[in-house]
Amino acid sequence: MTSVARRAEPLSETPAAIDVLTQADLVASGVTTLPDALRLAPGVHVAQVDANKWAVGIRGFTSRLARAQLVLIDGRSVYNNLFAGTYWEVQDTLLEDVDRIEVVRGPGGTLWGANAANGVVNVITRSAHDTQGGFATAGAGNEERAFFGARYGGTLGERGGYRVYGKFFDRDGGFHKDGVEFDDWRVGQGGFRTDFELAKDTRLSLQGDAYAGRIGQRTSVSAYQQPYISVVTGKAPVSGGNLLGRYTRARDGSSLQLTGYYDRSKREEPTFRETRDTFDLDVQHALQLGASNHLTWGVGLRASIGDSSGVETVAFVPPKKTDTLASAFLQDELALFARALRVTFGTKVEHNDYSGVEWQPSVRLLWRIADGHSAWAAATRAVRTPSRVEQDLAITAATSPTLPVFIRVTGDPAFRSEESLVFEAGYRARLGAHLSLDAAAFHNRYDDLLGFETGQPFSESGRQIVPLVLSNALAGRGSGLETSLDVRAGARLGLHLDYTLLSLDLHAKPGSSDTTSAASAEGSSPRHRVTGRARLTLPEGVDVSAVLRWVDVLRSQAVPAYTQVDARLGWRATKRLELAAVGRNLLGRHLEFGGNSAAPVEIEPSLYGQLLWRW
C-alpha cells in the first residue's frame, strides 16, 4: 500500500479504510473501463449515466464529476479545475498494464491535499521491467462493438526497460426510449513508459500518454432568441496528453522522491469549450529517525491554465485564468509499546487562489491486537476547496422554448471551502488460513456544503431572470459501515463479499432559502449496497468468475433498486493464447442514474468475445 502513508506498507498495518483491486480482480471481472472497475470496491457507488458518462461517489454524494474525490494515475492528479471533478470518459490506460487500484475511503487530504475529502482513487501501473515482451488483445460484441490493444516491452541497456502501447475502442450507445441514440463513442490512446536503475538505490521513470476521440452527446442549449431551448446532438471531440517523470533515491533509512508532470486536455462540447494545461512539481522526503520514528514531509507547486469559451448563455469570467496551488505536508509515525501501537499524526497546508490557506490535520492510531488482528481509529479535518464553477460561472437556462423566462446560476466570490470533520474506526482479522475480515465505520460532520440561494427576480432586455447563486448553504452528518469478507477455499476457489451501509442527514443552514439541495444530495447514493464475487479455476486452463451486485433505490432520482450479474469464462488454450467470453448486466437493461434528465438512459446487457495473445 502506498496511498495512505505515501510509502510502501502492508495492508494489515494501514490505519485507514482502504481496498485494493489487483490485476487479477480486473481480469476476472471483465471490466473495460476504470469507473466500472471501481464497482468492485466497498463504499464506492458507481452509476452509469449513459454509455460514456459515469457518476461516482465514495461514502455518498454520487455525482457526474464527484467533486470531493481525488483521482490519481501514477501520482498524476486528473482533477479538473473548471467544474471540480473527474471526467472519467477520458481517463484510460491499457488495463493489462495496471498493477493495482488503491481505493481509500475517507479523507486523504493530510497527504494528498484538498479535494480528497471523501476518498482517493490511485491507479498504479506496472513498471516497464515487469512488462517485457509483447501483448495484444482484440474483441467485439453488441455494446463493445470493437476494441483492440497492443503493448511491447524491451530493455534499454543493462538497467533500463521500456514499453509502448496503443489501444482503440468503439462502443455502442445505451437504451433510449425515444429511439434517438446519441451516446455511442470511440477513443484511441497510446503511450510509453521507461524505467531505469541508475544505481542500486536510485531509479528514474519517464512516461506519457496521448488520446483523441469523439464522444456522443445530447445537450439542451439555451438562447436569448426564440426558440429559447433547442436540443443539440452530436459528437464532441476530446483530446489530450501527459508527460510524467519521477526520480527516486532510497539510502540509509531515508528516501527522496521528485515528481513532475505536464498534462493537457481539450474538450469541445455543444455549450462550451476548454483547453487546459497543468504543470506540477512535487518533492517528498522520508526519514527513519531511530527504530520507532518515521518522518515524511514534502512540498508541491501546481499551475493550471484554463482557456474556456461558450455559447451566449454560458460564460466563465474571465474566460482565461491560471489557478496556482502551493502546498506542504508533514507526517510523523511513532511506534510504541514494542511496536504494538502506532500513532500517526500530521497535516497538510495549502494556499489556493479561491479560499487562501487551508489546513487538513489528522491523527491515526493502529493497534496490533494479536497476530493477524489489528484495529485502527482516526480523526481528520478535510476540505474541498472552491473551483472556478463556484466563483466564476454564469450560466443562463431557459425554462420554456416559447417564453422568455430564464434561470441564471452564478458563482459567489465569497464561496468558502466545503468542510468535514471525520471520525473513523476499523478492524482487520485473518481468521485462519483461508478467511479474512475487514470492517470500517465512520461518522462525518459536514459544514458549508454546496447549495443554491434564490435571489429576487428581475427583468433584462425583455427577459425575466430568476437568479440562483451557488453558496455554502448546507450542513449535516453522514455515517456508515463498510465490511468485506474474503474466503479462499483451497487453491481453486475464491469468494469475496462486500456490504455497505450509508446514512446521510443534510439540511439547509439557518437563513438559507435552499429547499431542494439537501434532499437531492441525500438521495443520490444508495443506503445499502451488496457485492459478491466468485472465481473458480478449473483444469485445462479454464477460469470462471462472476460478480453479483445489488444496489438500493436512489430516492432523489427515481432510480429503483436493481440486481445485476457479470460473468466471465476464460480459457488458456496455450501458453500464449487465451480466449474469453464476457457478459455484463446479464439480468436485463436497467436505470442507474436519473439526475435531472427528462429521458434518462438505461444500461443494456453487454456480451463480447475477447482474444489475448502474449509473446
pLDDT tens digits, 10-65 = 888 889 999 999 999 999 999 999 999 999 999 999 999 999 999 999 999 999 98
pLDDT at 9 (0 to 100): 81
Proportion of the chain above pLDDT 70, given as a percent: 99
Closest CA to 503 of 523, 520, 483: 523
Closest CA to 527 of 554, 507, 506, 547: 554
**CA neighbours closer than 13 Å in the CB half-sphere of residue 192:** 10
pLDDT at 4 (0 to 100): 77
pLDDT at 595 (0 to 100): 62
Closest CA to 531 of 559, 555, 564, 490: 564
pLDDT at 598 (0 to 100): 62
CA angle 386, 390, 395 (to 5 degrees): 160
pLDDT at 99 (0 to 100): 96
How far from the centroid of its chain's Cα atoms is residue 172's Cα? 23
* CA dist., res. 60 & res. 79, Å (int): 18
**What is the grid cell recorded at 110?**
493530510
pLDDT at 597 (0 to 100): 63
Preceding amide of 404 cis, omega within 30: no
Residue 373 clears pLDDT 90, i.e. is over it: yes
pLDDT at 484 (0 to 100): 96
**What is the grid cell recorded at 450?**
454546496
Q: Is the alpha carbon torsion for 74, 21, 38, 9 positive or negative?
A: negative
Q: Quick one: how many helices (H) and strands (E) in the chain?
A: 5, 35
* CA dist., res. 593 & res. 603, Å (int): 10
* CA dist., res. 471 & res. 513, Å (int): 11
Tell me the pLDDT band of 500, cut-offs 50, 70 and 90: very high
Q: In what order do the strands lie in the sheet with 119-125?
A: 17-22, 98-105, 119-125, 69-73, 76-77
Average pLDDT, integer, range 280-295: 93
Pairing of strands 602-603, 144-156: unpaired
* CA dist., res. 422 & res. 427, Å (int): 17
Q: What is the 3-state secondary structure (H, E, C) of 301-335?
A: EEEEEEEEEECCCEEECCCEEEEEEEEEEEEEEEE
Domains in the chain, CATH or no CATH each: 11-614 (2.40.170.20)
Tell me the pLDDT band of 596, cut-offs 50, 70 and 90: low
pLDDT at 303 (0 to 100): 97
Do 580 and 612 meet the contact criterion of CB atoms below 8 Å apart?
yes
Per-residue pLDDT of 272-287, as tens digits, reads: 999 999 999 999 999 9
* CA dist., res. 361 & res. 377, Å (int): 14
Tell me the pLDDT band of 253, cut-offs 50, 70 and 90: confident
pLDDT at 84 (0 to 100): 87
Tell me the pLDDT band of 178, cut-offs 50, 70 and 90: confident
Do 471 and 512 meet the contact criterion of CB atoms below 8 Å apart?
yes
pLDDT at 146 (0 to 100): 98
* CA dist., res. 171 & res. 471, Å (int): 38
* CA dist., res. 465 & res. 419, Å (int): 32
Do 52 and 216 meet the contact criterion of CB atoms below 8 Å apart?
yes
Pairing of strands 254-268, 272-288: antiparallel
Do 395 and 350 meet the contact criterion of CB atoms below 8 Å apart?
no
Tell me the CA end-to-end span of the chain in Å, nearest whole number.
30
Partners of 144 in the beta sheet? Answer: 171
Tell me the pLDDT band of 211, cut-offs 50, 70 and 90: very high
Residue 510 clears pLDDT 90, i.e. is over it: yes
* CA dist., res. 353 & res. 360, Å (int): 17
Average pLDDT, integer, range 480-492: 92
Do 121 and 2 meet the contact criterion of CB atoms below 8 Å apart?
no
Exposure pattern of 227-264 as b/e (b: 16+ CB <10 Å)? Answer: ebeeeeeeebebbbbbbbebbbeeeeeebbbebbbebe
Exposure pattern of 456-492 as b/e (b: 16+ CB <10 Å)? Answer: eeeeeeebebbbbbbbbbbbbebebebbbbbeeeeee
Preceding amide of 227 cis, omega within 30: yes
Q: Please tell me whether residue 51 adopts helix, strand or coil conformation.
A: coil
Residue 252 clears pLDDT 90, i.e. is over it: no
Average pLDDT, integer, range 498-518: 96
Per-residue pLDDT of 520-547, as tens digits, reads: 999 999 999 999 999 999 999 999 999 9
pLDDT at 245 (0 to 100): 98
* CA dist., res. 523 & res. 517, Å (int): 10
Do 204 and 196 meet the contact criterion of CB atoms below 8 Å apart?
yes
Per-residue pLDDT of 54-104, as tens digits, reads: 999 999 999 998 888 999 999 999 998 888 899 999 999 999 999 999 999
**What is the grid cell recorded at 146?**
470493437
* CA dist., res. 95 & res. 91, Å (int): 11
Mean of per-residue pLDDT scores for the chain: 94
**CA neighbours closer than 13 Å in the CB half-sphere of residue 524:** 23
Residue 126 DSSP one-character state? P
**What is the grid cell recorded at 303?**
499551475
Residue 81 DSSP one-character state? T
* CA dist., res. 551 & res. 570, Å (int): 27
* CA dist., res. 309 & res. 154, Å (int): 44
Q: Is the alpha carbon torsion for 88, 94, 95, 99 positive or negative?
A: negative
CA angle 196, 201, 203 (to 5 degrees): 25
Average pLDDT, integer, range 351-361: 96
What phi, psi does 254 have (nearest 5°)? -130, 160
Q: Determine the length of the chain.
A: 615
Residue type, 545: S
Per-residue pLDDT of 414-470, as tens digits, reads: 999 999 999 999 999 998 889 999 999 999 999 999 999 999 999 999 999 999 999
Residue 339 clears pLDDT 90, i.e. is over it: no
Q: Which residue carries 497543468 as its cell? A: 278
Residue 497 clears pLDDT 80, i.e. is over it: yes
